[in-house]
Copies of this chain bind each other. A is one copy, B any other.
Amino acid sequence: MTVLAVQSDVAELLDDLDVFVWDEPRPPPRDDVVVWAPVYGPAHAPEHVRDMLSIAPAVRVVQLMSAGVDPWPSMIPDGVTLCSGKTIHGGSTAEMAIALTLALIRDLPRSAEQQARHEWDRFRPNSLAGKRVLVLGTGDIGNRVIDTLETLDARVTGVSRTGEVTLDDAPALLPQTDVVIVALPLTAATTGLLDATWLAALPDGAIVVNVARGPIVDTDALVAELAAGRLRAGLDVTDPEPLPADHPLWAQPGLIITPHVGGGALGWQHRAAKLLREQVGRLDSGEQPRYVVDAGY
């Protein structure tokens, strides 16, 4: 079984496997190619990827290096299994959600302004303890966020498709929510989910954190709430992305933007190699790989 790796840094960590580094559009080995590891994220040109798939007929599994699977499902030929990279970046992305939430709650931007002025002014800080936090999405990222928030004494509600509290229940909870953290996959159902109505339902001073995908939050509606000084936000993802220099979002008050650096943190290659090794092991022993993306996704 050959692993086609399109990134040599992951391949280096898999020297116990038969790895073929496929970093240019030349034919891969055709004998027993089964796991293919595309580069992290959907930033790479879909045409290039489609070409690669069409010349790799022995590919059985496409193992993504990201938790988000958009826009891959439509690009995968029949008979090929698509697997998400759930465990690879979850910890890093969850960490980013906590970093943004704490930076806003503890008002680090205010301290930074004071620091720039060499001004020591002990303002009264706020704290996560006792805050009501809604975590939208209880996959790997959401669950890790919930675990950490609980150690920080926040009052956390996880919202999932099938759990005790579902997305249908969320609107009724918004008026009693201090922080909303978005850790959902981008699907037809989640695109534009946090629209003007949802945002308007949040109380004054509430915080929106998005570490998932930009289009889940309605950018224009968020800009309006930020401009009014009614909400604050921490966005590691935006819509559009990359955010053009002249976009009005950049200059809004109460906003921290980080340039989609939630996942992909240093060290992810180790977790990627661990997952690839596990998947090859499962395929070798005739099992289904983990984290298969549903056909009905």
Interface positions of A (Cβ within 8 A of B): 91-92, 94-96, 98-99, 102-103, 105-106, 108-109, 111-112, 114-115, 118-130, 144, 147-148, 151-153, 241-243, 245-247, 250-251, 255-262, 264-268, 270
A156 to chain B, nearest CB (A): 12
Q: Which residue of B lies closest to A94 (CB)?
A: B152
B261 & A125 in contact (Cβ 8 Å cutoff):
yes
Cα distance A152–B102 when bound, in Å? 14
Q: Which residue of B lies closest to A265 (CB)?
A: B127
B115 & A257 in contact (Cβ 8 Å cutoff):
yes
Assuming the contacts A103-B99, A112-B109, asked whether A91 and B260 have C-beta atoms less than 8 A apart, the reply is no
* Among candidates B126, B144, B256, B267, residue contacting A151 with C-beta atoms closer than 8 Å: B144
Q: Which residue of B lies closest to A129 (CB)?
A: B91
Assuming the contacts A111-B261, A122-B260, A261-B106, asked whether A127 and B246 have C-beta atoms less than 8 A apart, the reply is no
A250 & B122 in contact (Cβ 8 Å cutoff):
no
Chain B residues lying within 8 Å of A270, measured Cβ to Cβ, are 130
Cα distance A105–B247 when bound, in Å? 28
Cα distance A102–B115 when bound, in Å? 18
B152 & A91 in contact (Cβ 8 Å cutoff):
yes
Cα distance A297–B147 when bound, in Å? 36
A185 to chain B, nearest CB (A): 20
Cα distance A129–B122 when bound, in Å? 32
B91 & A250 in contact (Cβ 8 Å cutoff):
no
Cα distance A234–B31 when bound, in Å? 55
A257 & B111 in contact (Cβ 8 Å cutoff):
yes
Chain B residues lying within 8 Å of A126, measured Cβ to Cβ, are 265-266
Chain B residues lying within 8 Å of A119, measured Cβ to Cβ, are 245
A152 & B95 in contact (Cβ 8 Å cutoff):
yes
Per CB-CB distance, the 8 closest pairs between chain A and chain B, nearest first, are A127-B265, A120-B242, A99-B102, A125-B261, A111-B258, A118-B245, A118-B250, A148-B151
Cα distance A243–B121 when bound, in Å? 10
